[in-house]
Structure formats: C-alpha cells, structure tokens
Amino acid sequence: MGNPLRTAQDRRLPRIPEPCALVIFGVTGDLSRKKLIPAVYDLANRGLLPPGFVVVGYARADWGDGSFESLAHAAAKKGARTPWRDDVWQRLSERFHFIPGSFDDDEAFDHLASTLDELKERNGIAGNAAFYFSIPPAAFPLVLNQLNRTGMADPSKSGGWRRVVVEKPFGHDYQSAVQLNELVDDVFIPEDVFRIDHYLGKETVQNILALRFANSLFEPVWNSKYVDSVQITMAEDVGIGTRAAFYDASGAARDVLQNHLLQLLALVGMEEPTSFDPQEVRAEKLKVLRAISLPPDISTGSVRGQYLPGWVAGERAVGYLEEPNIPADSTTETYAAVRLGIQNRRWAGVPFFVRVGKRMPRRVTEIAIMFKKAPHLPFDPADVEMLGHNQLVIRVQPDEGVVLKFGSKVPGTSMEVRDIAMDFQYGEAFTESSPEAYERLVLDVLIGDRTLFPDAAEIEQSWRVIDPLEAAWAGTKPEPYRSGEWGPRASDEMLAREGRTWRRA
C-alpha cells in the first residue's frame, strides 16, 4: 500500500525503480566500461537504485587479464561522476554477477535464465529485468532469438516486467532499420523497447523543451518571421579512436547526423506538445522529422569532408587514411554539413544548417538560432558595423548553458552599437551538477519512463532523410580538411553563396 503522507508530485522524493535486474550484453565492451558501469555506480551513490537491485553482465570471457570484479571496479572508478566511496562500491559489487558466453551459446543463455529465476526469489526482484544490448548490431538477431527461446523476453513467464534497451546504430539505412524494428517487435512489445539516443539524456538537450515551452519570451519569435536561419553544430576534437571498422562502414552522417543531430533539430523545430506524455512529445517530433526537406541539389547543398593530418590542441594528429585499420583509399566522411529545411508554416524558408565533424579545433555542440536583422536601423552605418545578427545559442556541451547575443551601445559619446553576450551557465546558476546522460537514461529504463527515447517511427523517418544524402554521395570523394580546422573550405563556401557564415562556435 502507498504511503498516504507521500504524493508523487513531491519533488523532494527521488524517483526509484522497483526491485529489478539490469542485464548487460557486451558488459566488457567500450560503452559498458566507459558509460554503463560508471552510470550504475553513480546511481547507487545517489541512492537511486532499489533494494535487491542486481547487475548481470554477459560477455565472452576473453577480455584480458583479471577478474570481472576488477574490470568493473576499474571502470566505475575511472568513469564515476560522483565522488568515489569504497563502501558504496563494496555493496554494489556484491550485486554484480558475470556470465561468460558467446551469443550463440545456448547453455550460457540457459544459465542466464536460471540465474534470473534464482534472483527473483533471492533478491526479491519479482522477475523484473531490463536487457541492455551494448553489442554490435550484427549480434542483435542472435541475442533476440536467445531471449525468445529461453522465454526470458516473456513477462508472463517471468512474472515481472521485461524491457530491452537497444543502442545505436539502429540500422544503416531505412530498410535495415525497418527490419530491425520488426525483429525487436517480434520478441518484445513496443512499450518495452527503449532505443537509446544518449543526446536526449543530456540536461541541456532536455532544457530546449523548458526554454521553449516554460517561457513566454522566446515562442513569439520562434518562427520564420524572426528567425533567419538555424545552425546546429556537433564538433569533436577527437578522431575515430579504436572504432575503425565501425566508423569506416558508417561515416559521420550515419554515426551522428541520423540520430543526435536530427533529434536536436526536431526539439528545436517541434510544436508544443499537449503534455509531456511520451506519446505526445514523440508525435510532435515525428511531425518535424516528416517535414524535413533536403536541398534540391544535394551536391551544392551539402558537403562531406575527411580529415588530413594536422594539429589539434597542440598535438600532432594523423589523417583519417593513416588511422590504424582504415583502407588507404577510403572515401568515408568524417565531416558532413547539409542545408535542411522544415516544410511547415512556422519554418517555411528558414534554412537549418547542420554540421558534424571529427578532428575539429575543439569539442563543442551547440544550436544557434540566428535572428533576422532589425528591419530598420536609424543609426549611422559606421556605428552599427560591429552589430551582427541577434543570436540565441544553446550550448549543449561543454560550458553548458544559453547565450543571448544582441547589440548594445558602446560607452562613450557616439551611438556606436556592438554585439554583447548575456550568458547563463549551468555551473553558475545551479549548485547541483548535471547527471551524465547514461545515468539519466538507465534510470528511466528501470523506472519505465519512455519520454526520452525515440520510437521506431522517428528512427525510420530519420533514415529517410539520410538515405538520399548517402545515395547522392555514393561514388564521390570527400573534401579534405586539415585536422584542427573547422571542416573543408567547401562548407564555408556553401554558406557564403547565400551571404551567410558559420558561427564561430
């Protein structure tokens, strides 16, 4: 029975999931070590995990030296956001189980199923379990079949809820995404499928909705009457790291444009949802994704690039073609920029310039709303030379916050006007630091809150934007840019042709 002195609206009460298990496939892999295990530690440290909570890791046993316990300990300690506390780790690690096995190993999956059964009684998890696919997409069908065969995917057999969490890449084009969705939907019901786009777990990304729909200030100007253009930038200083095989088969557009960037565009472009019910939010995002238009001529309305050797943050960086395991004649893009439109009344005629790139001068993700210039300036032209477009810049990362740029009089006897910035920074405005995206998303999965997870239709629709780009790019060579530069010159020229420039992020 619920506590009559507590109400769900009370913000002082943390949201805590029901007792459950988190099963991580690929638990020794990169994502799990860097993000998932630390996220679980941080949740434990914040007291947000339920009593009886268990983690069951599944992976092949050949990850290297040392026990699973020491691998998890090192991963949690290295990646933890919150202060390290040995006693928290001690209690948490007692709830870690490891099951070695490959994805075609029936015996190992039977062992996993019986372990979950035992834990049901022993830890009181009532059959509740979330299965996290932190594995290459090629292994999805195998694992889904195993979950089906053993009955683990079936809530009626387990007696509790069963959820599945699927990491990107969700397919490599529209057709494969549809197939993958069918496969997942064969085994789980749609309400139990959580597709991760970790950008939606970032505080600054969720704040786009707060900024737009909790204030009266911005909405009246959030349209083609006042907005000249929108620029969405995701720049990374890093190269492709150790993911050569995956990256060379995908490229920048499939890796991040299809998901993170189109989700940002959808949040900026969407209409107000009737409520924050997951269905309502997704319905509005989907409408925007459906209304996206590509440039009439993709060859002039988009640019792909590939990094050459160069210098990034004072360090020498090799070119993409010299990266280990990249074929010397690869034509995969590490940079992509495209001029998109949104075909509806609000955004008619407003270009959305979207760019992503690796080995850029620094790591920055931001959304810049560039406003039209004032229709009339009653000033001496020389006095407004330093006045640009008003801008509202949502800084997703780093230096999370929002900057408003507008013109102000320079102190003195003349009426000189120059751009200045009004700056909101999370670090200064709030004492609480933002949770990591994965911390938030893992918690939401365990709670069963699907608001921050794109659904199958959104993912399929996003591929419909990417497929024609990929088709137009097939057989072409990406434009070179030096590591440490803001992409190829052709990208600047694309904007210059219409009298615009990329914002210096």
Active-site residue list? 260
Contact set for ligand BG6, span 485-504 (CB under 6 A): none
In the numeric block, which tokens belong to residue 482? Answer: 């030096």
- Amino acid identity for residue 96 in this structure: F
Q: Out of 255, 333, 455, 460, point to the residue binding ligand BG6 (CB under 6 A).
A: 255
CA atoms within 13 A on the CB side of 130: 26
Show the site string, 310-349: x = touches ligand BG6 by CB under 6 A, - = not. Answer: ----------------------------------------
In the bound state with ligand BG6, the residue whose beta carbon lies nearer, of 302 and 365, is: 365
**Shortest Cβ distance from residue 286 to ligand BG6 (Å)?**
21
Closest to 312 (Cα-Cα) out of 365, 363, 354: 363
User: How many C-alpha atoms does 157 have within 13 Å on its Cβ side?
Assistant: 12
In the bound state with ligand BG6, the residue whose beta carbon lies nearer, of 34 and 418, is: 34
> Apex CA 465: angle with CA 400 and CA 232, to 5°?
20
Cα–Cα distance for residue pair 180/448, rounded to 1 Å: 22
Q: Is 198 annotated as a binding residue?
A: yes
Tell me if 202 is assigned to a ligand binding site: yes
Is residue 168 part of an annotated ligand binding site? yes
236: its two tokens: 């990374």
**In this structure, what token pair is assigned to residue 248?**
């060379």
Out of 21, 153, 256, 267, point to the residue binding ligand BG6 (CB under 6 A): 256
Torsion of CA 59, 142, 259, 239, to 10 degrees: 50
444 in contact with ligand BG6 (CB under 6 A): no
Alpha-carbon dihedral sign for residues 69, 75, 76, 78: positive
Minimum separation from the CB atom of position 235 to ligand BG6 (A) = 10
What number of chain residues touch ligand BG6 (CB under 6 A)? 4
Among residues 42 and 255, whose Cβ is nearest to ligand BG6? 255
Task: Output 365 or 491, the one with its CB closest to ligand BG6.
Answer: 365
Residue 351 contacts residue 232 (beta carbons within 8 Å): no
Parallel, antiparallel or unpaired: strands 292-293 and 364-371: unpaired
Which residue's entry shows tokens 């372990």?
115
Cβ atoms 445, 270 nearer than 8 A:
no
Q: Which residues from 355-384 bind ligand BG6, rule CB under 6 A?
A: 365
Binding mask 55-84 for ligand BG6 (x = CB under 6 A): ------------------------------
Binding to ligand BG6 by residue 443, rule CB under 6 A?
no
Q: Which is nearer to ligand BG6, 227 or 337 (CB)?
A: 337
467 is annotated as contributing to ligand binding: no
Name the residue nearer to ligand BG6 (CB basis): 229 or 259: 259
Asked if omega into 169 is within 30° of 0 (cis), the reply is yes
Q: How far is the CB of 246 from ligand BG6 (least distance, A)?
A: 8
Which residue, 92 or 441, has its beta carbon nearer to ligand BG6? 441
Q: Work out how close the CB of 11 gets to ligand BG6 at its nearest, in angstroms, rounded to a whole number.
A: 27
* Measured distance CA(10)–CA(461) in Å, rounded: 37
The residue type found at 229 is: S
Whether 236 has a binding-site annotation, put simply, is: yes
Going by DSSP bridges, is the β-strand pair 292-293/335-342 parallel, antiparallel, or unpaired? antiparallel
Q: What share of the chain is helix, strand, coil (3-state, %, to 5)?
A: 40, 20, 40
- Does 42 carry a binding-site annotation? no
Could you give the 3-state DSSP secondary structure of residue 472? Answer: helix
Closest CA to 472 of 303, 221, 262: 303
Q: How far is the CB of 255 from ligand BG6 (least distance, A)?
A: 5
CB of 272 to ligand BG6, least distance (A): 27
- Residue 169 DSSP class: P
Q: Which is nearer to ligand BG6, 221 or 364 (CB)?
A: 364
**Rounded Cα gap, residues 271 and 113, in angstroms:** 44
Nearest-approach distance from CB 256 to ligand BG6, in angstroms: 5
Residue 236 binds ligand BG6, judged by CB under 6 A: yes
List, in order, residues 6 or more apart from 259 with CB less than 8 Å away.
168, 169, 170, 197, 199, 454, 459, 462
Nearest-approach distance from CB 156 to ligand BG6, in angstroms? 35
What are the beta bridge partners of residue 227? 371
- Binding stretches for ligand BG6 (CB under 6 A): 236, 255-256, 365
Q: Which residues participate in the annotated binding site for substrate?
A: 198, 202, 236, 255, 358
Q: Which residues participate in the annotated binding site for NADP(+)?
A: 60, 168
